[in-house]
Structure 1
Amino acid sequence: MTRRTRRLSGIAAGALVAMALVTPPAHAQDHAATQDVLNRYQQKAGPGAAVHAGDDTGSWTLSSGSASISEQRAITSADHFRIASQTKTFTAAVVLQLFDEGAVDLDAPIEQYLPGVFGGNYDGTVITVRQLLNHTAGLVRDPAGAKAEANGTYTLAALVKAAMDDAPQGEPGGGHKYSNAGYLVLGLLIEKLTGQSVGDAITERIITPLGLTGTSFPKPGERALRSPFVPGYQGIRVGGFFFWFDATTLAELSVWSSAGAMESTLDDLARFQRAIADGELFSPNALAEMRTTVPIAPEAPQNYGLGVFTLPLSCGGEAWGHNGVLPTGHASITMTTDDGRFASAMTNANFMPSDPSAFDLIDAALCEDA
């Protein structure tokens, strides 16, 4: 056996032992249907997975597998992890606050606020703020070739400048074309209008007022998660075995910035989405704008608004929220309903199983007592 083979075998064994030893949470019997979906989801996702759910009367958390391959530990609602594109909802919320303040016209061209920033393959006089928010601006998905700072971090200006030379995904006002680059532009917009870094603006306007003590926007070069945290993993499947390696701090987060860099917890994410639905962060008019949607794709049941999307529920009605997947080895989703139900789920790998999917898990949690 080679040294590399011994190392991979040890990782696989550690993952299997950890998952086998974790005791099912006390809530498992009370929420058996959701626990069953969670268990099946985790078997195709990361070493561990969890869902935190409830309504106005209380909450509960279920875990499956393990938070870590090196120890036996259930994932809790207070564990920190990278929320990836759930960051977009925070960014959109600040833009909507600026809309309420009269600083932003959602249907104005971005050139009005960021003169001279757009060029190359894009015309800032025909791309609107709304189109950036709902991914109909046609921008490239991710900028290529951005110039890093001497310390290996990236500025929003450099990322957006690099995106201008990339080929568009579509025409402004066309179909939904998911774009991290568009949300980097929105981060630049927030910085221009507030005079703050986008992280400071999100902290001052969203995180601190809501008391989201487990949530933060990383400074450039800051990669570590606060304790307690769920390590993120990447890996491969060989037959019935997984081979994991820790990816928690492998990526420089400033490359995602306002599109996907933030850290949070299941509990905080549920609190944040409930605050949006309850009107704590901006006006009913702004919420109506946020919930003005476009189809994601002809065959997709979800529609996309301004930093949120819809999820039709098997028990009737729909939920609102966002998901996120990052190479740090974290995948998550948080959804709420207008009658007070909420569910936030995560797994510690960037796998996206389809049967059951994260959508199936959220649907099970939201519909169990509906």
Structure 2
Amino acid sequence: MRAVGPSPPPHTLSPRRRGALGALAACAVTALTVLTGLCPAAVADETGATAAELDRFAERYVERTGLPGATVAVTKGQEVVLTAGYGHAGDGEALTARSPMRIASLSKSFTALAVMQLVEAGEVELNRPVRRYLPGFRIDDPRGARITVRQLLDQSSGMSDRTFPDASRPEQPDSLKEAVAQLRTAGLAAEPGTDWNYHNPNYHVAARLVEVVSGQSFGTYLRRKVFAPAGMDDTVAAEAAGTPAPDSLADGHIRAYGMNIPMPEPDHFSAGSGGIVSTAEDMAKWLILQQSGGRAANRERVVSAGSVAEMHTPSANEGRYALGWMRRVPDGADRARQPQIWHGGSLSTYSAYQFLVPDTGYGVAVLYNSGITLTEEDLWGLADGLLALTEGRTPPQGGSSLWKIDAVFGALTAATAALGIRGLLRSGTWATRRRRRPMWRAAVRLLPYSFPPALLAVFQPGVDFLMGGRDATWLQRFYAVPAELSFLGIAALTCLAVVAARIAALVRAARRSAHATSAQREAADPSHST
């Protein structure tokens, strides 16, 4: 159920009545402020978009794009402007501002904050080697000894998916300790500090560092030192294998052929890098903490303002990535937009974005119960539209092209299957017409059928290359592009089946031709008969 504070319509009143209503309004605002502090809800903002406008846009956007569901948090400074849920969960229940959602790689900003707390306590220095605090951190490259704590957090350690493909490893670790131990076989793609590579194990190591230095499990540390002080009572973090799955967390969705299909998240290790489950209400508190210089909505100091500024300041040599956050400075056609501190996250069945706009004081978090797809516009458009409204810009109307793309691939899949069946049924006729021709000509005719199987064979390495070397399993790839991969898979299998059937038919035709020729010879020369 959405909590929305509607904007009152303007009225023409006498001065006396305006004064009386003004006093009444002042009392109402005071009461609303107190209630907001006790139970964050949606309020109207005086200088930007109202809660009702934001709510109306989000509701219509989810409907128009066909997204299964999303939850939203919008804050300004220390105020909650809107927390709401739209659509439905995988179990059919309506999403609300308190529905648990996987926040994927937004988890990295929490890990970075935990490390910064240890920095403030004098127990860790960002520019010291990781091995100083975590002796068990070893990789298969002597340069690994020079990797610093900062280089883990700003993804410039030199480790990458190309040298250590963690997602597709057949044996996923059961703990942060094991995750770090598995890195002994990892290499470096670059000298530490010289190149930027988005690599989840950087944050596995950072989370393990928190465990070792604090003497607490990572999940316990976050619960005691981050979630509780911030008032995030419904937020939990992974401590062991896989992603946490509270009883109230429903399956997310994959999107295929215009449908939203509930599916379980593929099992993968994500502690420290993507294992947090939160709610829109809790994410509003997180945004307030970030916009308030490290103070929670209840005014408790969680981290210093200097540490918050450090986390928001890019330090990687590519100029954008900070410590668990990224900086985006619009240019060109986007110049009307304000600079943003942000981070995104994508799993197979959930996605998330968080934005801070320092110039306006707004914060926006959007959590989706659908994962990465061939096009990201549907997910990006909702967050961008909310930001546009807070800046006085016209938001996108919404409307997905994904179903159209899937419809094309669905039609191609059906046509391919039909042609394949036809080819199988007519393989005998095809072979009969070619039994007296040279075999190389038949081979040439069959050569085009090798293209779909070849494309399927190079699909994984090809996608890895297009995504900058990012690693994923076949199942994760399928969840992202089910219609497209189904077409390619069926096309490859159909082509292989048709080729096999035609070759078998050619062999049978050749044998029949040989037997017929032998019979003719015997009939022409009785001396060869027995």
Provide TM-score, normalisation by structure 2.
Answer: 0.56
Tell me which residue corresponds to 1:251: 267
Note the 1:166-315 alignment, pairs <5 A: 166-220=186-240, 223-227=244-248, 229-235=249-255, 237-238=256-257, 241-242=258-259, 244-248=261-265, 250-251=266-267, 255-279=269-293, 280=295, 281-294=302-315, 303-312=320-329, 315=336
Match for residue 30 of structure 1 among 18, 28, 53 = 53
Tell me which residue corresponds to 1:349: 370
Take 1:356 and 1:296, find their aligned partners in 2: how far apart are those partners?
28
Take 1:88 and 1:57, find their aligned partners in 2: how far apart are those partners?
24
1:204 maps to amino acid: R
Higher relative contact order (CA 8 A, sep 6+): 1
Take 1:224 and 1:64, find their aligned partners in 2: how far apart are those partners?
21
1:125-156 CA-to-partner distances (Å, cap 9, x unmatched) read 211111100001111335364756xxxx6121
Do the aligned partners of 1:321 and 1:335 also contact (CA within 8 Å) in 2?
yes
1:251 maps to amino acid: D
Take 2:286 and 2:57, find their aligned partners in 1: how far apart are those partners?
26
1:2-59 CA-to-partner distances (Å, cap 9, x unmatched) read xxxxxxxxxxxxxxxxxxxx99x9989623555555445x43xx42234332425542
Tell me which residue corresponds to 1:137: 157
Superposition deviation, residue 311 in structure 1: 3.5
Match for residue 66 of structure 1 among 70, 82, 88 = 88
Take 1:223 and 1:47, find their aligned partners in 2: how far apart are those partners?
21
Paired residue secondary structure (2:113): helix
Do the aligned partners of 1:37 and 1:356 also contact (CA within 8 Å) in 2?
no
Do the aligned partners of 1:114 and 1:189 also contact (CA within 8 Å) in 2?
yes
Do the aligned partners of 2:119 and 2:125 also contact (CA within 8 Å) in 1?
yes
Superposition deviation, residue 215 in structure 1: 0.3
Take 2:225 and 2:69, find their aligned partners in 1: how far apart are those partners?
33
Tell me which residue corresponds to 1:19: none
**Ranges in structure 1 where 5+ consecutive residues have no aligned partner:** 1-21
Paired residue secondary structure (2:213): helix
Do the aligned partners of 2:154 and 2:323 also contact (CA within 8 Å) in 1?
yes
Superposition deviation, residue 275 in structure 1: 0.4
Tell me which residue corresponds to 2:433: none
Tell me which residue corresponds to 2:39: none
Take 1:307 and 1:175, find their aligned partners in 2: how far apart are those partners?
17
CA, structure 1 residues 223+194, in 2 after alignment: closer, same or farther (shift >3 Å)?
closer
Take 2:232 and 2:343, find their aligned partners in 1: how far apart are those partners?
17
Q: Over aligned residue pairs, what C-alpha RMSD do you find? A: 3.1
**Ranges in structure 2 where 5+ consecutive residues have no aligned partner:** 7-50, 296-301, 392-530
Do the aligned partners of 1:269 and 1:344 also contact (CA within 8 Å) in 2?
yes
**Could you tell which deviates more after superposition, 168-177 or 214-223?**
214-223
Take 1:63 and 1:117, find their aligned partners in 2: how far apart are those partners?
42
Do the aligned partners of 1:80 and 1:264 also contact (CA within 8 Å) in 2?
yes
Question: Are 1:47 and 2:68 counterparts?
Answer: yes
Take 2:104 and 2:376, find their aligned partners in 1: how far apart are those partners?
22
Do the aligned partners of 1:34 and 1:365 also contact (CA within 8 Å) in 2?
yes
Superposition deviation, residue 185 in structure 1: 0.5
Do the aligned partners of 1:133 and 1:182 also contact (CA within 8 Å) in 2?
yes
Tell me which residue corresponds to 1:121: 141
Do the aligned partners of 2:155 and 2:202 also contact (CA within 8 Å) in 1?
yes
Do the aligned partners of 2:193 and 2:316 also contact (CA within 8 Å) in 1?
no
1:247 maps to amino acid: P
1:49-94 CA-to-partner distances (Å, cap 9, x unmatched) read 34332425542246554333x53x5422211011111111111001
Superposition deviation, residue 288 in structure 1: 2.7
Tell me which residue corresponds to 1:319: 340
Take 2:356 and 2:158, find their aligned partners in 1: how far apart are those partners?
29
Take 2:158 and 2:230, find their aligned partners in 1: how far apart are those partners?
33
Greater per-residue strand proportion: 1
Tell me which residue corresponds to 1:85: 105
Provide TM-score, normalisation by structure 1.
Answer: 0.77
1:310 maps to amino acid: R
Do the aligned partners of 1:223 and 1:251 also contact (CA within 8 Å) in 2?
no
Match for residue 160 of structure 1 among 180, 186, 194 = 180
Identity %: 25
Do the aligned partners of 2:234 and 2:282 also contact (CA within 8 Å) in 1?
yes
Do the aligned partners of 1:52 and 1:345 also contact (CA within 8 Å) in 2?
yes
1:307 maps to amino acid: G
Do the aligned partners of 1:274 and 1:336 also contact (CA within 8 Å) in 2?
no
CA, structure 1 residues 116+212, in 2 after alignment: closer, same or farther (shift >3 Å)?
closer
Take 1:230 and 1:172, find their aligned partners in 2: how far apart are those partners?
40
Paired residue secondary structure (1:175): coil
Superposition deviation, residue 366 in structure 1: 2.3
Superposition deviation, residue 180 in structure 1: 0.5
Tell me which residue corresponds to 2:47: none
Paired residue secondary structure (1:233): strand
**Could you tell which deviates more after superposition, 133-142 or 305-314?**
305-314
**Could you tell which deviates more after superposition, 161-170 or 59-68?**
59-68
Tell me which residue corresponds to 2:123: 103
Superposition deviation, residue 223 in structure 1: 4.2
Do the aligned partners of 1:53 and 1:366 also contact (CA within 8 Å) in 2?
no
1:267 maps to amino acid: E
Aligned residues: 327
Superposition deviation, residue 179 in structure 1: 0.9
Superposition deviation, residue 318 in structure 1: 2.1
1:176 maps to amino acid: W
